[in-house]
A and B are shown apart, each in its own frame.
Chain A
């Protein structure tokens, strides 16, 4: 029912072509790229173009940086916006669907000392709306979408639940900004994950999967049939991108996911 995508770092192989071969054999239908900072993702364009020509399917990129468009620091924030714009352009050039980013990651948690962030909620909101608007307009020009990913409360203090992301997206009024959902974070933050998916249905642009313990789907206790049933009922047609840690033999763990998800969604 769903196409399963695997993040590139989870696959063995030196090149994207080699990784793709492994991925295909395991039942994956796509690879999710990882976008580093300092325009490293843009610098990979020759490699990515060759992979595309060789038939590697790469619809999405997930940012891999230490600062994000919601950063407290103005310079870091500006840089994160520039990096994301570049990643949106690159994924557009590859014919992909979009790029995924959280508001922040590892910057502040209201659940950990010192508990009170240095910026007010109103200021957070202004920063987020400005960043989403700038990135969303850029994404629209490139014919792709920016996926805003709610993270759990220990990793981000601003956008934790799908409803919060939807509210911000509605405020921007841009179709080119969508929610990127992640089963692991939802398990912590949503009272009823399948109901949250249905409530956010028209806004969901991307989905990442890992189990309750951040390991590969099937290694934890998430109710996958209900989660996937809700995503299907929501009309989602994108990939399920595996972003996780692996437990057990890594090759076996990666290889087990497509069949596991297909059975759970049957």
Chain B
């Protein structure tokens, strides 16, 4: 990347563009065949090097176990290198699933010393603290039923897995059918989604809530600063971080935040990971987490249909989630989705957002307002609903404007979507999820742009992601302005998702089931201006999707 300095962001201040603005960064071209071959070889080297025999570590040093959403993103790229390994990746992760359906965010490798990562197996103690109560099944006795043969963490990460399973299947349907892949993973994926629906709808409004800042995957996002401030941190001498041995301290979360993460996880553990009993002092509805759940419900519909079952319940569930997403998390004032802090009892900017000062006068919506309040911080999570099929058109249009506007500056100030508001008070171009650009976020955005018919912007983003992945040696994340590599290198999902983007133009037979289907698209800027005025009571407008369901 060769981005402008931060100061240039002000040049476009206040402007929002539905097409590329005049002072946009010079476009990168899709790499030529020699460059593509070089990136491909590099990505293959990373994925083969990080394979452990049954799954892939995110990186050899910093992350020596199997991570839940990492594995899903890794499988999406690994499918192009080895369909069998990609299937194994997901099967191995699902081997760590709990009886209550949760897929833990880490499945620990027993061959790695317990102190190689903190919080490690000795902290989570899943097989004891999360066990099903003796004398009954987990469901009957309230124990969540952590597996006995493997140690895992007790929290979760975003549900990208059904999407990954479907994409992995599409890469080599013959091998998938021969191995009975979908038939084996489908019940587990359905149980996972059921867990989120039944145990994690803490706000009662139809969305899944995260009970730890690590659950939405964007661990130290400024969105959590407010909700976290109410959490009493664990004493600094009560734990020892392992992440600083591998990463620069300036790129990682602070010690104080880490103390809060530890306190939350310990509290959950000490309540036996039983969602009904745990006090969950941190409970947040995250737009990205729920958008991925929606996409995965659609994928589960496709998987179910492929296996001869009835996809309708999954489609209905996806539609209900989409409805709830808009109802609970859309902020017309912010022009993006925001996180909802379910423990914020002060009211806060209901239905409003960072730009709404003071809060808008009471509306019909606020009379039945959902619990908690929208969080006054803009993160990339609020734009990722672009991947969701069937969003109201005016919302899609607003998201596209926000994307290019001063807060995220895509194509004007930066080449890759930053994780947090470029103009936000907590912006830090280096620190983990407080500003840097991440590859999974940008892979999702590329998909979202393509879905919306923003082909040119998607093409530009794809070229930029590939260029940045190669130039950074497949870094974990980047300074969004300079493109300088941050975090660890040879990061598995960066390599995997680069491979997936690289494959796209040449994978006609694979992408056929993914192409846009009639009635499900895209909207020209002209159409968007004809949309009805924005409303805080926005409801998704079902856009006539074919019987086959939306593309994924």
Contact = CB atoms under 8 A, between A and B. Distances in A.
Interface of A: 191-192, 194-195, 198, 223, 225-226, 229-230, 232-233, 235, 266
Contact of A226 (B40, B48, B53): B48
A194 B44 CA distance: 10
A225 B49 contact: no
A58 to B, nearest CB: 27
B44 A230 contact: yes
Contact of B44 (A192, A223, A233, A266): A233
Contact of A198 (B49, B80, B85): B49
Contacts of A198: 45, 48-49
Given A223-B82, A226-B85, A232 B53 contact: no
Given A191-B53, A192-B51, A195-B49, A229 B44 contact: yes
B82 A225 contact: yes
Nearest to B178: A221
B81 A229 contact: yes
Interface string B296-329: 0000000000000000000000000000000000
A191 B51 CA distance: 12
Contacts of A223: 82, 84-85
Contacts of A191: 53
Contacts of A235: 41
B265 to A, nearest CB: 33
Interface string B21-60: 0000000000000000000111011001101010000000
A190 B157 CA distance: 34
B83 interface: yes
Nearest to A201: B45
Contacts of B84: 223, 226
A36 B48 CA distance: 38
Interface in B71-88: 80-85
- By secondary structure, the A interface counts as helix
B414 to A, nearest CB: 31
Given A226-B84, A235-B41, 6 more contacts: A198-B45, A223-B84, A225-B80, A226-B48, A229-B81, A229-B82
B44 A232 contact: yes
Contacts of B44: 229-230, 232-233
B82 A192 contact: no
A225 B83 contact: yes
B505 to A, nearest CB: 13
Interface of B: 40-42, 44-45, 48-49, 51, 53, 80-85, 506
A229 B84 CA distance: 13
B496 to A, nearest CB: 13
Contact of A232 (B41, B51, B82): B41
Contacts of B80: 225
A198 B40 CA distance: 15
B85 A229 contact: no
B41 A192 contact: no
A235 B49 CA distance: 15
Contacts of B45: 198, 233
14 contacts: A194-B48, A198-B45, A198-B48, A223-B84, A226-B82, A226-B84, A226-B85, A229-B44, A229-B81, A229-B82, A232-B40, A232-B41, A233-B41, A233-B45
A211 B80 CA distance: 20
A198 B47 CA distance: 11
B81 A226 contact: yes
Nearest to A198: B48
A192 B54 CA distance: 11
Contact of A195 (B42, B48, B81, B83): B48
Given A191-B53, A192-B51, A233-B48, A225 B41 contact: no
The 10 A-B pairs with the shortest beta carbon distances in the complex, nearest first, are A226-B82, A233-B44, A233-B45, A233-B41, A229-B44, A194-B48, A229-B81, A225-B82, A223-B84, A230-B48
A225 B79 CA distance: 10
B528 to A, nearest CB: 39
A185 B82 CA distance: 20
A236 B334 CA distance: 53
The residue among B44, B53, B85 with the most chain A CB atoms within 10 A of its own CB is: B44
Contacts of A233: 41-42, 44-45, 48
A32 to B, nearest CB: 25
Contact of B53 (A192, A229, A230): A192
B490 to A, nearest CB: 12
Contacts of A266: 506
Contacts of B85: 223, 226
A230 B42 CA distance: 10
Contacts of B82: 223, 225-226, 229
Nearest to B78: A226
A204 to B, nearest CB: 14
Nearest to B45: A233
B149 to A, nearest CB: 22
A204 B98 CA distance: 45
A222 to B, nearest CB: 10
B188 to A, nearest CB: 23
The residue among A192, A229, A266 with the most chain B CB atoms within 10 A of its own CB is: A229
A226 B49 CA distance: 12
Contacts of B42: 233
A232 B48 CA distance: 12
B78 to A, nearest CB: 9
Nearest to B80: A225
A225 B51 CA distance: 15
Contacts of A230: 44, 48
Nearest to A193: B48
A56 B49 CA distance: 38
Contacts of B81: 225-226, 229
